[in-house]
Amino acid sequence: MKIFQHIDEYHPFDGIGNDCRGFRSIFNISSTDNYVVTQRNFCSKENKIILISDFSKELINQLEINHESIHILHYGGSGYPLDFFLSLPGRKFLRFHNVTPPEFYLGCNESVYVSMDKFFTKSILELFSLSNDIELAICDSNTNANFLKNYSSIPTMIVPILKDYSKILSNKDGLQSSILNNQITSKDLVFVGRIVPNKKIQDIITVFFFWKKYHPASKLHLIGGLVPGIEEYFDFLKDYINELDLKEDIEFYFKIDELEKTKILSKSIFYISMSEHEGFGIPLLEAMQNQLVVIAFASTAIPETLKKGGILIYKKDFPQIAELMNQISEKPDIYRSTLKTQERALDFYRNYPFQEKLENIFFNQERVNL
């Protein structure tokens, strides 16, 4: 038996790519031969990556793709050629992440909104069309499972995004020492995510504007990537930053590696998320791993991901949010107790039986019966 994970674009740092690598780690532990099949590969140093354009009958025979093979389609919206996926012999599974509703793009150029609306509609039609071909949809959150149930009859199961949650990506000895001495010196804020409207980055900037009234020397670090076609949202953010006279205090970081990202996280105190649509939220967990206090708007899958860790915000009262953050930063005992809630949340993921779950799904020779 061989396993093939299908993904539109295979990237080194994005959530879907990392989840794909997490699945590979389980298959490797189980000594199961596995491959990634993609239209575009941006991970040239990894092995067993096959481009769709290289597929042929000869390659299918060479790889011994047959009725015992397993195919997993990582789905975050329309883009992967479904005819190709369905034509391959073997069992078919969906790893469903999320599809962003088009209403978040209403403030953009009309052509952008129309394009995103078409993308969403096509994605919904594809999910509906897959109902009779997919054995099981493995969703990374209940939020995504409930979304899928609205548009498809595919059975669902919840398995969180798979990564190594045991690692603390940085050791914040200096910060921990200052906390123990009842002094928290770091005042910088950080957010990690694509520069897209549903992330509501303008709201993070507004929180920072009020935060600076308490801590004038603080900085805001925005780590993400531009999405082709919606650069105007980035232009809007730059104009807003200039309007608030924050140009010297906010820095964007594009295409940085994990080490550089970790360094930025290490010198920050709060991770801020004002996003209004998240299917899961790996950066939230990375922030907790790096012992930042997470302040997050309680939308979509965010409360589910945080597992009662960090601070959830239910109303976007920006001055009040900044005041709350200041109270936490001025009171190390509250800071420490919040970090403890985050450690308990991380323990859920550290102890999650990923290997048992996936082996039960994929190595069961009978069709999954839910």
**pLDDT tens, position by position, 53-91:** 999 999 999 999 999 999 999 999 999 999 999 999 999
pLDDT band at 323 (very low <50, low <70, confident <90, very high): very high
The CA distance from 341 to 314, in Å, is 18
Using DSSP's 3-state secondary structure scheme, residue 217 falls into coil
pLDDT band at 44 (very low <50, low <70, confident <90, very high): confident
pLDDT band at 305 (very low <50, low <70, confident <90, very high): very high
The CA distance from 161 to 345, in Å, is 14
Which of 360, 358, 355, 343 lies closest to 166, judged by CA?
343
The CA distance from 15 to 21, in Å, is 10
With a cut of 70, say whether residue 173 has pLDDT above it: no
User: Which pLDDT score, from 0 to 100, does residue 107 have?
Assistant: 83
Q: Give residue 338's identity as a one-letter amino acid code.
A: T
Q: How far apart, in Å, are the Cα atoms of 44 and each of 243, 319, 356, 365? A: 42, 46, 30, 33
Which helix (H) or strand (E) segment is 93 a member of?
A: strand 91-96
271 and 283 in contact (C-beta within 8 Å)? yes
pLDDT band at 367 (very low <50, low <70, confident <90, very high): low
User: Which pLDDT score, from 0 to 100, does residue 185 have?
Assistant: 66
DSSP string, 117-151: HHHHHHHHHHHHHTTTT-SEEEESSHHHHHHHHHH
More confident: 171 or 65: 65
Q: Give residue 253's identity as a one-letter amino acid code.
A: Y
With a cut of 70, say whether residue 184 has pLDDT above it: no
With a cut of 90, say whether residue 164 has pLDDT above it: no
The CA distance from 71 to 85, in Å, is 8
Which of 104, 61, 52 lies closest to 83, judged by CA?
52
pLDDT band at 366 (very low <50, low <70, confident <90, very high): low
Structure tokens at 202: 């303008």
The CA distance from 212 to 17, in Å, is 36
- Long-range contacts for 244-248 (Cβ within 8 Å, ≥24 apart)? 244/205, 244/206, 244/209, 246/205, 246/208, 246/209, 246/212, 246/220
Q: How many CB atoms lie within 10 A of CB 130?
A: 22
Domains of the chain (ranges; CATH) run 3-164+352-362 (3.40.50.2000), 173-350 (3.40.50.2000)
Tell me the percentage of the chain whose pLDDT exceeds 70: 92
Q: In what order do the strands lie in the sheet with 70-75?
A: 49-51, 34-41, 3-10, 70-75, 91-96, 136-139, 156-158
Does the predicted TM-score (pTM) go above 0.85? yes
Cα angle value 117/118/120 (rounded, 5°): 65
The CA distance from 359 to 343, in Å, is 27
pLDDT band at 8 (very low <50, low <70, confident <90, very high): very high
Q: What is the DSSP letter of 49?
A: E
